[in-house]
Amino acid sequence: MPSPIRVGFIGLSATGGWANASHYPYLPQSPHYKITALCNSSVKSAQESIKAHGLDPSAKAYDSAESLAADPDVDLVVVCVKVDQHYRLAKPALLAGKDVFVEWPLGRNLQEADELCQLAKSKAGRHVVGLEESLAPSTKYIKRIIDEGKIGKVLSSSLWGVGMHSGWGPMDARAANTADVEFGGNLLTIGTMHTLETITSVLGELKSYTPLLANQRPRITVKNDDGTTSTRDKTSHDQVMLQGTFESGAVLSFHFRGGGPFKDTPGIIWRIYGEKGELSIEGDGYALSMGLPLTVKLHDFESEKVQTLDVPVLVEEWKDRKMPPMAHMMGLVYKAFYEEKGYVDFEGAVTRHKMIVDIYARAEK
Amino acid sequence: MPSPIRVGFIGLSATGGWANASHYPYLPQSPHYKITALCNSSVKSAQESIKAHGLDPSAKAYDSAESLAADPDVDLVVVCVKVDQHYRLAKPALLAGKDVFVEWPLGRNLQEADELCQLAKSKAGRHVVGLEESLAPSTKYIKRIIDEGKIGKVLSSSLWGVGMHSGWGPMDARAANTADVEFGGNLLTIGTMHTLETITSVLGELKSYTPLLANQRPRITVKNDDGTTSTRDKTSHDQVMLQGTFESGAVLSFHFRGGGPFKDTPGIIWRIYGEKGELSIEGDGYALSMGLPLTVKLHDFESEKVQTLDVPVLVEEWKDRKMPPMAHMMGLVYKAFYEEKGYVDFEGAVTRHKMIVDIYARAEK
């Protein structure tokens, strides 16, 4: 790889948002990346962001994905915006043969994801999506415990979790587009798929499964930015269940629902039951994806002892860099991309999009 | 009803066992029942039990179900023995037109249960099975909380539990027949069906569901009574999963596995999630069936308060009778039978047996 990889970033605002919290912090701290251009909704907004982040003043400001794609000083285009804009903003970069990093989900639906993937494969560029779970220190640690035989052969696993919106009370206006199933970002495509990515990273892929979806709050209240509230229809699902069998023969029970956890209890409870021991993993609903603290306990059946394991949640060598946990996670994707191994590319993303299509088609509703 | 109802009891030993712990204690304390005959494996054993329990010395001792069935001083024959003996021992009483109480499961399989049910319906006698969950104070209490609107409309429920044998370590010889799926008593037919009886008593019947079964420990070690161990095949399932939709539209995720709980955690965690609040119910794996202590908490979303509810686990007016919790539960069935309302009869049992057949037929394995 050339180093530094010159990044054209789409979606980095001057003030906040997901890109700032997750994708951005790693980049200025890495010798392997350099942001050379930003593309925002306006050139002015891009210029403000360049200034706010103290980027090299030579960094270029764009207001269109096409202009950014045409910049010869950009090797990698990062698309970190709302899901429904991924396709439109990634396509010009792919057509220009750039490397492209698109946040997960790759597209609003399989068609968009598949078209981006075909395009990526027909051009010279490399491609990567923001499915970071297999690289997380906690995921690797839990997998190692199992691989070392600490609980014997895995027999079953059960995961119960909560996350995303669509619970009690009004939804923030900025999250309200997740209420529209056509938007492409919701409890199934984001919360569930990230969590399943963790589960399968540890326990292997599912050989078969049966899904169930429900939209139990089809009408919701939205809290608008001006303080007023309004009501609207919700078409995305707020209950996702799945039971199935892993390639290994172990069985899985999975239930994820929208909204908050039962007060003062973990947002996620994950049990991995083996022939001679069991793991209990508890944390915030997003902990598994975002490197947030987890409690991992091992119950050894023969000794009848329970041991609290010292699971790493952050990247050890980056600890003094003061990046938020999710920036550690995303940094691992950038690192893997630089090293050209271990990241999920658009083909991997399409496989997950196919699973989403399959779940929509086969789920009891 | 004539009072007292004269009981001929099959399966009450002098020393211990399930009948002593559950069915027996209520009977001598009730003015509505009187044990007039016992039937054991031998007349001598029956006589010993009459003596050990201090029953009326006029109580008759039998060693065959046919002789007991012919006794004109018996109104109700109770069959409380191993599942595989239910059919053989209940049939003579039904043919004689007696009332009959058979512990759950009614038979080893649907055929046996159905034949007993047809027989019961063609004769004058009444019939009852040991599915006591709908009568339990805790079940009624939880149902009332929901009916009063404390959590609003129920949207979903998730139950994770452990129970029965087939976990780590050797199985006791006396439980080893549950390893044989043909025996008819196992994690699906006993643990799961009792728990589903509680769930449906509170949340209504399932409109549809998808089951999954697995036998993850197909070879087990048995600890024989003489202290030796031996190994044998196990054909019954140690993992039962089910996801589905209630008539109400709420959805259910259910996972029950054999063996013990993760150490120092509840053997059962049951969540009932509503539009405006959630119930968290925790206890021993059998708590829901046996009137054992439960912790029931209510999380009210609007006030963000959690309240620990004072759920009754025993029958208030029987508290000074010093009966074990399961005897309270079974006493409620006897009480309901005397009052001729609220108990599950053989037709109800056949409905559950049909569900078992359906689960065996449709489950991914």
What is the predicted pLDDT for the residue at B293? 86
User: What ipTM score was computed for the predicted complex, to two decimals?
Assistant: 0.95
Judged by a CB distance cut-off of 8 A, whether residue B192 touches chain A is no
Mean pLDDT of A100-124: 96
CB contact (8 A) between residue A297 and residue B262: yes
What residues contact residue B357 under an 8 Å CB cut-off, 6+ apart? B109, B110
Is the Cβ of B309 closer than 8 Å to some Cβ of chain A? Answer: no
Cβ atoms of residues A318 and A329 within 8 Å: no
The pLDDT of residue B3 is 81
Structure tokens at B21: 């712990």
Contact A9, A102 (CB under 8 A): no
- For residue A291, name the pLDDT band (cuts at 50, 70, 90): confident
User: Tens of pLDDT along B124-162?
Assistant: 799 999 999 999 999 999 999 999 999 999 999 999 999
Q: Where in chain B are all domains bearing CATH 3.30.360.10?
A: 133-312
What pairing do the DSSP bridges indicate for beta strands B127-129 and B99-102?
parallel
Q: Does A275 touch chain B (CB under 8 A)?
A: yes
* H or E element, residue B62: strand B60-62
pLDDT in tens, A321-361: 989 999 999 999 999 999 999 999 999 999 999 999 999 99
CB A233 within 8 A of CB A249: no
When pLDDT is cut at 50, 70 and 90, the band that residue B50 belongs to is: very high
* Amino acid B165: pLDDT: 74
pLDDT (average), residues B198-226: 96
- pLDDT at residue B365 greater than cutoff 80: no
- Determine contact: B245 vs chain A, CB below 8 A: yes
Query: For residue B148, which of B295, B309, B8 has the smallest C-alpha distance?
Result: B309
- Structure tokens belonging to residue A38: 């930003």
CB contact under 8 A, B155 and A239: yes
CA pseudo-torsion sign B104, B110, B113, B118 = positive
From chain B residues 150-169, the ones with a CB under 8 A of any chain A CB are 155-156, 158, 160, 167-169
Residues 334-353 (A) with a CB less than 8 A from some CB of B: none
Cβ–Cβ of A167/B301 closer than 8 Å? yes
Of B156, B304, B146, B192, nearest in space to A256 by CA = B156
Picking from A56, A60, A104, A99, the residue whose alpha carbon sits closest to that of residue A80 is A104
Q: Report B:277-296 residues touching A (Cβ under 8 A).
A: 278, 280
Confirm if A103 and A129 have CB atoms less than 8 A apart: yes
- Distance, CA of A172 to CA of A176 (rounded, Å): 6
Are B160 and A160 inside 8 Å of each other by CB? yes
Cβ atoms < 10 Å from Cβ of B350: 20
CA of A152: which chain B residue's CA is closest?
A: B168
Q: What is the pLDDT of residue B292?
A: 85
What is the pLDDT averaged over residues A106-117? 98
User: Which residues on A lie below 8 Å from B306 (Cβ)?
Assistant: 262-264
pLDDT on residue A1: 65
User: What pLDDT does B97 receive?
Assistant: 96
pLDDT at A221 over 90: yes
Tokens at residue B191, please?
Answer: 């643990």
Probe site for chain A from B243, B282, B307 (most A CB atoms < 10 A): B243
Identify the residue whose tokens are 């030993």.
B13
Name the minimum distance, in Å, from the CA of B183 to any CA of chain A: 24
Q: Which whole-number Å values give the CA distances from B252 to B210, B249, B272, in the listed order?
A: 10, 10, 9
Taking the C-alpha atoms of residue B274 and residue A194, their distance in angstroms, rounded to an integer, is 25
Residue A174's pLDDT band, with cuts at 50, 70 and 90, is confident
Out of B262, B269, B276, whose CB is closest to A168? B276
Least confident range from B17-26, B65-74, B102-111, B167-176: namely B167-176
Whether A301 and B168 lie within 8 Å, measured CB to CB: yes
**Which of A156, A219, A221, A253 best probes binding to B when mutated, by most B CB atoms within 10 angstroms?**
A253
| Confidence band for A309, pLDDT divided at 50, 70 and 90 | very high
B163, B187 Cβ separation under 8 angstroms: yes
pLDDT band, very low/low/confident/very high, at A165 (cuts 50, 70, 90): confident
The mean pLDDT of B40-48, rounded to a whole number, is: 97
Q: How many CB pairs under 8 A join A and B?
A: 133
Say whether A127 sits in a helix, a strand or coil: strand
**How many other CB atoms are found less than 10 A from the CB of residue A218?**
12
In degrees and rounded to multiples of 5, residue A279 shows phi and psi of -105, 135
What 3-state DSSP class applies to A28?
helix
Share above pLDDT 90 across residues of chain B, in percent, rounded to a whole number: 88
CATH T-level topology, domain A5-129: Rossmann fold (3.40.50)
Task: Please give the helix or strand (H or E) that residue B83 lies within, else none.
Answer: helix B83-95
Q: pLDDT tens digits for B75-112?
A: 999 999 999 999 999 999 999 999 999 999 999 999 99
pLDDT over threshold 90, residue B1: no
Cite the beta strand spans of B247-346 per DSSP E. Answer: 251-257, 268-274, 277-283, 294-300, 305-309
What average pLDDT does the segment A174-194 reach?
94
DSSP A70: T
Where, residue-wise, is CATH 3.40.50.720 in chain A?
Answer: 5-129
pLDDT of residue B163: 85
Token couple for B292: 């054992």
pLDDT value at position B362?
95
pLDDT of residue A295: 95
Q: Do B243 and A241 touch (CB under 8 A)?
A: yes
Confidence band of A17 (pLDDT split at 50, 70, 90): confident
Rounded to whole angstroms, how far apart are CA atoms A184 and A83? Answer: 6
Phi, psi of A260 (to 5 degrees): -90, 170
Class of domain B133-312: alpha beta
